[in-house]
Amino acid sequence: MIRNAGLAVATGEIVMTVDADSRFHPCSFVDVVEKLATGRYVGGGAMVYPERWSLGILATGFVAALYLAKYRVSFGTFWTTREACEAIGGFNPEFVTIEDVDFAVRLKKLGQHRDQKFGTLVRSALTTSCRKFDSFGDWYLVKNADFITRAFSGRDQAAGDEYWYEPGR
């Protein structure tokens, strides 16, 4: 798993991850350092905005928000301390999709145990690529509820390959 490989070679006490097709906000690093310095946060995620908007992308965001509301976590980027990341064992390599949501859920649980919050960067939201919408269409995920169910199971390699890892092969 590439995220764990990155974490293994990182040298700082604060770690942040981001997908290759997303961009940090210019204030992301400052906001993370400030939040972690308070001691009130175990870590967190960020609001995520697409690089362009359409009704289909908005509907997809709503569907994803419903899923994430179940866990009350944000995603897209993760920020925490090296120690907290090691305490939860990093990203679970058994997941082929949604490993980021699983990481967030476990990080949040660690924070609850430590009386710390799981935070969400709002002011410094992440901007993410719309390349998958460009390839599959803005309504693809909304129109394919079965695919969403398979992808959000975390263990369906065919779903991961179809959309993220090997589209068009």
- The full DSSP string for 54-76 is -HHHHHHHHHHHHHHHTTT--EE
Angle between helices 99-113 and 2-9 (to 10 degrees): 50
C-alpha–C-alpha distance, residues 163 and 120, integer Å? 26
Please state, in angstroms and rounded to a whole number, the distance separating the CA atoms of residues 84 and 114: 10
Whether 1 is covered by a domain: the verdict is no
Q: Kindly state whether residue 7 falls inside one of the protein's structural domains.
A: no
User: Could you tell me if residue 5 is inside a domain?
Assistant: no
Phi-psi region of 158 (alpha: psi -120 to 50; beta: other; left: phi over 0): alpha
Tokens of 109: 């649980």
Q: How confident is the model at residue 129, as a pLDDT?
A: 95
Position 4 in a domain? no
* C-alpha pair distances (Å), 99 with each of 8, 40, 104, 115, 128: 17, 25, 9, 24, 18
Kindly give the parts of the chain with pLDDT less than 50. none
- C-alpha angle 94/96/99, rounded to 5°? 75
The answer to whether residue 36 sits within a structural domain is yes
- Separation between Cα atoms, residue 56 and residue 53, nearest integer Å: 8
Q: Is 8 a member of any domain?
A: no
Cα 12 from Cα 7, distance rounded (Å)? 10
Nearest of 118, 162, 132 to residue 19 by alpha carbon: 132
Report the pLDDT value the prediction gives residue 153, as an integer from 0 to 100: 86
pLDDT of residue 168: 62
Residue 71: domain span: 13-165
Q: Is 2 a member of any domain?
A: no
Domain count, the chain: 1
Residue 66 lies in a domain: yes
Helices (H) and strands (E) in the chain, counts: 9, 5
Q: How far is CA 156 from the centre of its chain?
A: 18
